[in-house]
A and B are shown apart, each in its own frame.
Chain A
Amino acid sequence: MSVSDADLIARVLAREDHHAFAELVRRYQSPVRAFLTRMTRGDAHLGDDLAQETFLKAWRKLHTYRGTAPFSTWLFGIAFNEFRSVARQRKELALDDVDKEPAEAPPPAADPQSGLRLDLTEALKRLHSNERAAVLLCCQNGLSHEEAARALDCPLGTVKTNVLRGKQKLKRWLQGYQHYESA
């Protein structure tokens, strides 16, 4: 039987148990790294750097985790803050210059088997970062709107709007792609 997150956290706080924290990292490294890689528009190196910083910050601030939300929600919150602080410094990740809709659908991928998947990946990159974060957390990682609002530190209504708007944009762009493919 696997040990619960709460037990692992208690062990870390009580005696700085590196093994317990390593287990927490192992459990959540994949969703956190995937989230940050997508937030950085596919830059896996930067995503991993931010993920490492996220876990280091989680280690330092673990005593502030109250347990009122799932541990993953708390981690995603730290991860998004890490992304935001880097995005402020890096022009290519700037938050406001990506809100333009593409003039035409993204080009089809070479491999027809993975075409739609690659297309969705490209379409995600074109979303505004707040919309991308909301869509990734709610639709890909299964967080509720309330949990996403907590992780992104924004009002519940804003998260709902960002998810809705983000998905509408993705649908529009993907429909354009499907028309292109069927032509």
Chain B
Amino acid sequence: MRRIVLPLALFAAVLAAWQYGSAWAHISPKLLAPPSDVLRVIGETLPLLLQHAVPTAIALVASFVLASLLGFVLGTALAASRRLRRAIYPHIVLFQLTPKIAVAPLFIIWLGVGAASTLALAVFLSFFPVLIATASGLTGTDAASLRLCRALTATRWQTFRYVRLPYALPHIFDGLKIAATISLTGLIVGEFVAAQAGLGYVVLFASSIGETGLLLAAVAFLCLIGLVLYGLVAGAERIVMRSFGGSSSTGDHAG
């Protein structure tokens, strides 16, 4: 009980401080728009916000799907060849330690200012977690299950389909959830650096005219979009993990 009440109380307290504190401490509402202001701005500029939310949302879904497919395919390829893994994996690990986000200007040179380079940046950043999760999930199958497949003379494809892949699904979904978050980050930075549309652009624009109300409104929409995608992925995970076990032979045969 206290686990719920205490954090809620703190949250409410912070919210209240935010709402009333700025007036009490004589902080200009432009500098830190209280929640009521943010809500007002949302109401006033809803069409504008939606107009910018749509391209960002579409780009998010597109980049996530592309990154997931790319990451999954390449991850499977890496899992299939030990030699390839040893040749490439060290580079991937090193790559993960660098601030890849800095390549944004490079994509702008290649794809121009606008949606294409933003999308490319998001895909580039978010396919890595899927790649790594897929490769490590598929290669991490326990030895006993693999031995069972060998004993039954299963082909590599059969081992992949019936044993490696199902066991790897939890890993892969973890990677997908990370990719969903990173996709959004990549999009936002892409829109900061080179866009004339999208919620990231709105955030930057709002900051340039000092309108934190608009800024926070745009951030709120970004949160929403991010949560929806994350929720969809988590939901898909539930369905897949449950219906996976649900396939019984009585479904294939008459009785």
Real complex partners, A and B?
no
Residues of A within 8 A of B (CB): none
Residues of B within 8 A of A (CB): none
